[in-house]
Structures are given as C-alpha cells and as structure tokens.
Structure 1
C-alpha cells in the first residue's frame, strides 16, 4: 500500500512538472489541471504496486516510469494539437537507449536495431499515406521501437497492431466529452482526424509492461 501511495504522489508531482514543461515549450500545449497529474499519478501507482509485488525488476520499473511520463506528456499534445513536438520525440530516442542499457548488451542491441526498424516502417507508411500517419508519429516510433525491441522482437508488431486497433476504436466512438475534458475543446466542433500518437504510446506502454513481467 505504501508503494502505491508513494507512486501516486510522485506521479502527480511528475505529471505537474510535465504540464508546466508543455506550457513552456515553443510548440507545446497548455493543459488543464489536473490532467497530467491524474494520468501519471495513476500510472505510477500501478507501477509502484507491481514493484512492491516483485513483478518487475528495478531496471524495468525505471523504464516504465519514464515511458508512462513520456506517454502522458506527448499524448496530451497530440490530442490537443494533432502534432508531436520535436522537443519531446527527438530527445526520447537517446533517452530510451540509456534506459535500456541497464538491461544488458543484448537488450540494448535489440533496442538500437528496433529503433531503426520501427522508424523505417513508419516512414514508409507516412510516405504512402501522410494523412493516416504524420511525421511526428514517425519520429515517435523510433523511441517506442527501442523499448519494445528491448522486450522482444515480437513486441514490435504486437504494439503496432494494438495501436492500430485503438485508433480505429477511437475513430468510431463518440469523443466529444473526452476531448472537452482533456483538451479544453468544445463539443460540436468539426471532427478532426484521430491522432495516432496516443494509441502508439498507450499500446507501447501496455506491451512493455506485460512483456517485462517476471513469470
């Protein structure tokens, strides 16, 4: 219980820092309180529970904490503005490799190759259909590909399929209330294309969390 509470409190603080950072980025976003705090707080509480139960080793716990923080920050911007700032996606690539390094040389090698593979595949899709996959999604795929490949090669296609399904579900379900709560938008505005970045981030976080479990 202590680990859960600590994770929730620290997550809320980290989420608040993310919200402040987003507001100061040149191409960031102004996010309502307490969106980031709530998202990161809940995620870190769950990670704290997993750490207390011994289901993840410390290196994976650190990676998951960073991944969920990044997912909250980048996902909120994409939901609000339909873009992913370079200030978030580009530094995330070396950060991902640094976080994977404690897992060992094999995982680090897979991560480096996974980043290139994921970016290459997403770049090809972007060139073929720019409307369905933006340039920001291509840049995002590199860091996510690194952490996914660190889990296993199979995690890459699994996360890609899950992300596509999540985007399809988001496109067909009503989103006015969620959009108004998260982004400050007003119901009744013309529907814009569903951003794919949040689905990529959520899918990667779920696949990494599940793949890193100590069975």
Structure 2
C-alpha cells in the first residue's frame, strides 16, 4: 500500500511539475509550444520511478532531489530538442548552478566529503571535452550540447568518476547507433536523433540507479 502511495505521489507531482515547465517554455521571446500530455506522462513516470526506488531503500533519500531535478530538466529539454531542434539557454544555463546546489545538498548528508569537488571538476571536464568536439565538428555537436554537458557532467561525477565515463560514453554510443539505424532505414540526416536526448537519458539512468564510489 505504501509503495502505491509513493507511485501515485510521484506521478501526480511529476505531472504538475511538467505542466509548469511547459508553461515556462511558452514564455517569449522564443517561446516553444509543446503539446500535452507528453511532458506530463514522461515526468510522471520518471518521478514515480525515483520515489518508488527511494521508498524501497534502493535510492538514498538524500540523493533523491538529484534524479527528480534532472528528470524535470531532461523532459523539458527533450521536448524542445525534438520539437525545435535546440536546447535553450533559459534551461541549460540555470541548470548548472541548480546542479551544484542539489549536489551540495546531497554531499552535505552523504558519507563522501569529496562529492561536491568531484562534481564541479566533472562538469568542467565534460564541458571542455564537448567544447573541443564542437570546435572540431560544429555541425555534429551544437553549443547547446556543450552547455548541457556542464550540468550533466556535474551530476554524473557526483556519483563517481566511472559514472561520468559511463554516462558520457553511453550518450555517444546511443547517438551513433541511432545515426547508423537512420541510414540503414533510408532516413535523411534530419531524422537523426538529437544528441541532447541520449545525454539526458543516460545521465538520468546513472543518477537514478547510482553506484557511489
């Protein structure tokens, strides 16, 4: 019964947070209209899963704000990347200090005094790598992906250095496989999967199923 309550609570809160996010996306000057109820359904599922894992003891309560916040960001950015092929600064830039805040909260309660420092360094390292990749191939990797790397690198490195490597390589692998699949089925280049989606998806999975160390 208690698990069902957590599922329902996570779904309800996630749906409400997604509705608020969609309204924020519509604000000018470059508002984006995302049709309902895709954001609500996606975030309801992510938040319900995170709360359920926390209720069963598989996810530390002090770490719970991280996958919740990242899930909200992931759903909104995925919607903008799919509908408008861009990752707006209005989301990617505030996500960096927000990631540091939630990691600071987790680190203050976790038995890992190096978490915050590792997270900040991980964000810098991943951003630097993405910036180099953008300079080498600007058509394949946009500046929005570079800015997103700062927040995803922060939360991934907060888990562990192997988690940062797993999340980064996983995103590259998923993007590459999607591109190969698109070529095999005869789709044009515009049908390829935006890299922001694998970045966010892999980061959320690693933070929702963390192996700290």
TM-score, normalised relative to structure 2: 0.88
| 84-93 or 189-198, which deviates more | 189-198
Please give the residue correspondences for 1:59-208 in structure 2 after superposition, counting only pairs within 5 Å.
Answer: 59-104=62-107, 105-173=113-181, 191-208=190-207
Residues in 1 aligned to 2:61 and 2:89: alpha-carbon distance in whole angstroms: 29
Q: SS in structure 2 opposite 1:211?
A: coil
| 122-131 or 53-62, which deviates more | 53-62
Q: SS in structure 2 opposite 1:27?
A: coil
- Higher relative contact order structure (alpha carbons within 8 Å, sequence separation ≥ 6): 1
Residues in 1 aligned to 2:188 and 2:84: alpha-carbon distance in whole angstroms: 14
Give 1:180's aligned residue: none
Which 4+ stretches in 1 moved above 6 angstroms?
none
Match of 2:16 among 13, 16, 24: 13
Residues in 2 aligned to 1:151 and 1:190: alpha-carbon distance in whole angstroms: 35
How much has 1:171 moved relative to structure 2? 2.7
Paired residues, number: 201
Q: Is the contact made by 1:115 and 1:146 (CA closer than 8 Å) also made in structure 2?
A: yes
Residues in 2 aligned to 1:71 and 1:195: alpha-carbon distance in whole angstroms: 13
Give 2:110's aligned residue: none
Residues in 1 aligned to 2:68 and 2:128: alpha-carbon distance in whole angstroms: 27
Q: Is the contact made by 1:60 and 1:212 (CA closer than 8 Å) also made in structure 2?
A: no
Residues in 2 aligned to 1:95 and 1:22: alpha-carbon distance in whole angstroms: 18
Give 1:210's aligned residue: 209
Q: SS in structure 1 opposite 2:59?
A: coil
Could you give the per-residue CA deviations for residues 57-88 of structure 1, whole angstroms, max 9, x where no partner exists? 12211111000010000111011111110110
CA RMSD for the aligned pairs?
Answer: 2.0
Q: Is the contact made by 1:79 and 1:195 (CA closer than 8 Å) also made in structure 2?
A: yes
Match of 1:32 among 32, 35, 39: 35
Q: SS in structure 1 opposite 2:141?
A: coil
**Residues 81 and 158 (structure 1), Cα distance of their counterparts in 2 relative to 1, 3 Å cut:** same
TM-score, normalised relative to structure 1: 0.87
Structure 2: 5+ residue stretches without partners: 108-112
How much has 1:194 moved relative to structure 2? 2.9
**Residues 9 and 31 (structure 1), Cα distance of their counterparts in 2 relative to 1, 3 Å cut:** same
| 16-25 or 164-173, which deviates more | 164-173
Structure 1: 5+ residue stretches without partners: 175-187
Q: Is the contact made by 2:15 and 2:41 (CA closer than 8 Å) also made in structure 1?
A: yes
